[in-house]
Structure 1
Amino acid sequence: MSLGSLKARLIERLHSPESWRPDADAERSDFDLNPGLTPDGKPLKPAAVLVPVIAHADGATVLLTRRADTLTSHSGQIAFPGGRHEAGETAVQTALREANEEVGLDPAAVEVLGIMPAYRTGTGFLITPVIGWIAAAPELTAQDGEVADIFEVPWDFLMNVANHQRGHMDPPEGPRRWFWAMPFENRYIWGVTAGMIRALHDRLYEDVPDPEAAAAEDAA
């Protein structure tokens, strides 16, 4: 197997971009690990992120960012490029626009392979992950004041459940809250981003007899 098998697996198992609806039901959410928590019932805010898979000659990687420390919300956290929909946008259009704004990724360099089912956050967003295939290492520039760092993580690291941890926090009020976490080198991938990575793993490999071996071979 090879990068070609990874690309084929993604195309086969993802939804087509044309199937996207802004009010689609979420298949995964922050509440999956916290069944005792109750959504507040407010309307969800539609958003989209780009999951950029870069096809390097020595193996596939996934591009991620670290949000600037000066931001008022989610500062310093690891995230995919993305944000809220603007009026009239599809999920693909939002993801490509935000990636261009945040890291300077040329939309023409991205082959959109499909979309994942929506992910519901505990903060009231309904996020559609858009999976993009990038055939060559792109030239990127971090948006000043928004993005502190741009980095890549090997595909087989993210798709290995041995690297998927369950972390928790104890808020001042309310019960303990659990989340997925995937520490990588000196970076802590957690929360919504890790939850979407876990959802992508399950869609691609959950029914494969040896999922870790399959992911490693896909990334070769």
Structure 2
Amino acid sequence: MCIDKSWPSGGPDWAAVGVLLREGSVLLIKRVEREGDPWSGQVAFPGGRWKPGEDLMDTVVREVEEEVGVRPTALVGVLPPQSPSNAPWLKVVPFVFSQWVGEVRPNPREVREARWISKGEMSEGEWMGRRAYVAGDWVIWGLTYRILKRLIECGLL
């Protein structure tokens, strides 16, 4: 099964990312470069870590709003959790949305740039010995690559 309508409640070892789909494209961000951030400067989906008092839906809505200024409203479904290779204990749940309120405006404290990227703009190859997509001057690898690959396999992108 590609997509589900239920999700785990969350906890200290959980995070959520927002996969925003629009007319055959997906919103990706380039994170600001920040010392001590293991994902500094990388291409990613907007999202982040669970906080006490939230469930993962609360987490993804809060994080997407903080990072790109829109509030996700129409949930398509949830992909199975995956873990980044540099944090195998962290479980990241991708929430797929087809609608939101507001206009995408990257938060300059967290996001250097946001782009809508279509499947046709991505070419698959290798980068530093890892499978990756290249879209213009962006290299998309790691967890973001694996989530995009899953979206394509499921026919969502």
Q: Give the structure-1-normalised TM-score.
A: 0.62
Q: CA deviation at 1:135?
A: 7.4
Deviation digits for residues 132-177 of structure 1 (CA, Å, limit 9, x no counterpart): 00379x512211221100111014445xxxx3324345xxxxxxxx
Aligned to 2:13: 45
Aligned to 1:180: 131
Deviation digits for residues 97-143 of structure 1 (CA, Å, limit 9, x no counterpart): 10000110123xx311100000022213100000000379x512211
Aligned to 2:148: 197
Aligned residues: 154
Aligned to 2:83: 120
| Greater radius of gyration (CA) | 1
- Aligned equivalents of 1:95, 1:44: Cα separation in 2: 15
C-alpha contact 2:84 2:142 (8 A) present in aligned 1: no
Q: Return the structure number with greater strand share.
A: 2
| Distance change in 2, residues 1:67/1:196 (3 Å) | same
Equivalences for 1:1-220 in 2 at 5 Å? 13-16=2-5, 19-22=6-9, 45-55=13-23, 60-73=24-37, 74-107=39-72, 110-122=73-85, 123=87, 124-134=89-99, 138-157=102-121, 163-169=123-129, 179-202=130-153, 204-205=154-155
- Aligned equivalents of 2:111, 2:100: Cα separation in 1: 23
**2:107 alignment partner, SS class:** coil
Q: Return the structure number with greater helix share.
A: 1
Q: Give the structure-2-normalised TM-score.
A: 0.84
- Aligned equivalents of 1:117, 1:128: Cα separation in 2: 6
| Distance change in 2, residues 1:144/1:167 (3 Å) | closer
Q: CA deviation at 1:44?
A: 7.5
**1:164 alignment partner, SS class:** strand
Q: Structure 1: any 5+ residue segments left out of the alignment?
A: 1-11, 24-42, 170-178, 206-214
- Aligned equivalents of 1:21, 1:133: Cα separation in 2: 21
Percent same amino acid among aligned pairs? 27
Aligned to 1:38: none
- Aligned equivalents of 1:78, 1:126: Cα separation in 2: 18
C-alpha contact 2:79 2:96 (8 A) present in aligned 1: yes
C-alpha contact 1:180 1:195 (8 A) present in aligned 2: no
| Distance change in 2, residues 1:187/1:195 (3 Å) | same
